[in-house]
Structure 1
Amino acid sequence: MTADATRVKRPARLRQAGIYAGLVAGAVFAVFPLLWGLSTSFKPEATVLATPVRWIPEHFTFDNYHAVLFDSQIPRNLLNSVIVSIITVAVTLLIAVPAAYSAARYRFRGKGGLLFFILMTSMVPGIAVLVPLYYLAVKLSVYDTFFVMIVIYAAWQVPTIIWILRGFFESIPADIEEAGRVDGTTTFGAFVRLILPLAKPGIGAAAIITFVYVWNDYLIASTFVSDSDLRLISVGLYTYLTQYGTVWGQLTAAVMVTLLPMIIAFVLFERRLVAGLSAGASKG
């Protein structure tokens, strides 16, 4: 190996080492609060704020998890979030998938402007339309229902999902559909039998994005529901923040329970999420 080649490779290695160091630092920064929360969830309430801080609890206890799972509304809140999230995902995909396919395959006058307008709607701050939405919910007698949350969540997610899936559909060769039509398949049949199976990674990524958005939202969940039996998990967690202080042990235990569905979803669909976002980013 020549000296020039060695000089060229050395900066590349340093750059790669710097990238990995940055990724490790970012991962540690992100995981640090979770590890603290996990440790706190196993501590008795009297020792949570004790000094010096012990990362490994001196006395392990499951009382916080018992209180969260059996003596609180958290299980009901979790079920509510699962129901609203799944239905929102279904409604969002039902609207966004054919819309994204049409945007990717068909040409019509004003297409670019229409797509840009759709994207603009997702840029409107939620707080800006909160009062009109609240007024409509009360007037239409849908306040304090899952229905109003599902409609709002789906409406806010459809523009983003259309743009993500549009890029993914554009990455699928149109020759596949033409071959299907030659064999006698209709346009709809080619879409369902040929395109949708190939679009599973993109659809899976869109489903996860929508699910996480609904799961983490607090603004809509706290504004349009006041019944404790209909609260979502994001609102339920705030019951541990009282005027007399924060119940740290039970709060962190509830957070750990809340994170479990998200962790399972990401572990199961990690490849599909990365594949779908990569295709959408490269073509969108």
Structure 2
Amino acid sequence: MADRAKRMPARRAVGVYAGLAAASVFALLPMLWGLSTSLKPESQVFAVPARWIPQVLTLENYRKVLFESQIPLNLLNSVIVSVATVVLTLVIAVPAAYSAARFRFRGKNGLLFFILMTSMIPGIAILVPLYYLAVKLGIYDTYQVMIIIYAAWQVPTIVWILKGFFETIPVEIEESGRVDGCTTAGSFLRLVLPLARPGLGAASIIAFVYVWNDYLIASTFVSDPDLRLVSVGLYSYLTQYGVVWGQLMAAVVVTLVPMIVAFVVFERRLVAGLTAGASKG
């Protein structure tokens, strides 16, 4: 019986790792095929039989994407809007999350639930009113309208993530700071925020990826080609004559690079921030 009990966790671990490996292969295969397609001349894209490794490798698709298209400008637009959204989201969400984690007041739970509930409203349901407001306020076709909408949609989620993280930071740290003469704001800025870096990093990555991948807002509130985000710019390769697959895949690979770099650099903070928030959620 003891040997059987030992074998069961081992079998379960094998099953878990096999499932993770299958999921990884399922996720990676399309990206590897896209990378392969981006290195093929257009004449070889539909070659039969299909080849994972091109007979002739070419960087022509990347040259056209980087030097003969608006993808670099679209990438710059996405970086500007994403970074500005992250900053605005954190400026609003950090004090709100800290207040929810530390202070007690009547109706707090109901208010927090209402804040979270607003993030569940489908974006398409309020698209027309938002479009009308943007036109009336004169901010249609600007960076500002996208930054404001993206931040408004991300604040509820980030508030809940950071609330759970702030709750993991002992209150005694702030109390010791007050004993040493710090005000509430001073202890928050000098003691709590440095300890909250993993949570802030996780929240930043989540907001950044959301903006980077969004198509609905970027395509609705901007019509100027010079202000388009990269998610919209990719559609320029879907023409009335067909899809320019080689250049489209090259553009997709180029747009994936910032995301991959961000995850590699902030992986530990992302995992630490999410798990810490989940432990108190």
Q: Same fold (TM over 0.5)?
A: yes
- Which of the numbers 199, 221, 245 marks the counterpart of 1:224? 221
Q: Which residue of 1 aligns with 2:123?
A: 126
Secondary structure of the corresponding residue to residue 276 of structure 2: helix
Deviation per CA, 1:42-80: give whole Å up to 9, x if none.
000011011101100100011000000000000000000
Q: Which residue of 2 aligns with 1:186?
A: 183
- Which of the numbers 79, 87, 90 marks the counterpart of 2:87? 90
**In 2: Cα distance, 1:267 partner to 1:53 partner:** 32
Q: CA deviation at 1:187?
A: 0.3
Q: Which residue of 1 aligns with 2:63?
A: 66
- Which of the numbers 76, 81, 104 marks the counterpart of 2:78? 81
Deviation per CA, 1:232-275: give whole Å up to 9, x if none.
00000000011211000000000000000000000000000000
Q: Which residue of 1 aligns with 2:253?
A: 256
- Which of the numbers 133, 136, 157 marks the counterpart of 1:136? 133
Q: Which residue of 2 aligns with 1:33?
A: 30
**In 2: Cα distance, 1:7 partner to 1:76 partner:** 61
1:244 aligns with 2:241: yes
**In 2: Cα distance, 1:68 partner to 1:34 partner:** 18
1:105 aligns with 2:99: no
- Which of the numbers 176, 199, 206 marks the counterpart of 2:203? 206
- Which of the numbers 40, 52, 56 marks the counterpart of 1:55? 52
**In 2: Cα distance, 1:224 partner to 1:116 partner:** 29
Q: Which residue of 1 aligns with 2:153?
A: 156
Secondary structure of the corresponding residue to residue 109 of structure 1: coil
Secondary structure of the corresponding residue to residue 105 of structure 2: coil
**In 2: Cα distance, 1:123 partner to 1:281 partner:** 19
**In 2: Cα distance, 1:49 partner to 1:176 partner:** 63
Deviation per CA, 1:203-259: give whole Å up to 9, x if none.
000000000000000000000000000000000000001121100000000000000
1:171 aligns with 2:161: no
**In 2: Cα distance, 1:53 partner to 1:106 partner:** 62
Unaligned runs of 5+ in 1: none
- RMSD of aligned alpha carbons: 0.5
Deviation per CA, 1:85-124: give whole Å up to 9, x if none.
0000000000001100000000000000000000000000
Counterpart amino acid of residue 88 in structure 1: T
Deviation per CA, 1:5-64: give whole Å up to 9, x if none.
211011111111000000000000000100000000000001101110110010001100
How many residues were matched structurally?
A: 281
Q: Which residue of 1 aligns with 2:6?
A: 9
- Which of the numbers 124, 146, 156 marks the counterpart of 2:143? 146
**In 1: Cα distance, 2:166 partner to 2:258 partner:** 29
Q: CA deviation at 1:176?
A: 0.3
Q: Which residue of 1 aligns with 2:15?
A: 18
Counterpart amino acid of residue 271 in structure 2: V
**In 1: Cα distance, 2:159 partner to 2:229 partner:** 26
**In 2: Cα distance, 1:142 partner to 1:251 partner:** 31
Structure 1 runs, 4 residues or longer, greater than 4 Å off: none
Secondary structure of the corresponding residue to residue 278 of structure 1: helix
**In 2: Cα distance, 1:102 partner to 1:184 partner:** 21
Unaligned runs of 5+ in 2: none
**In 2: Cα distance, 1:215 partner to 1:156 partner:** 14
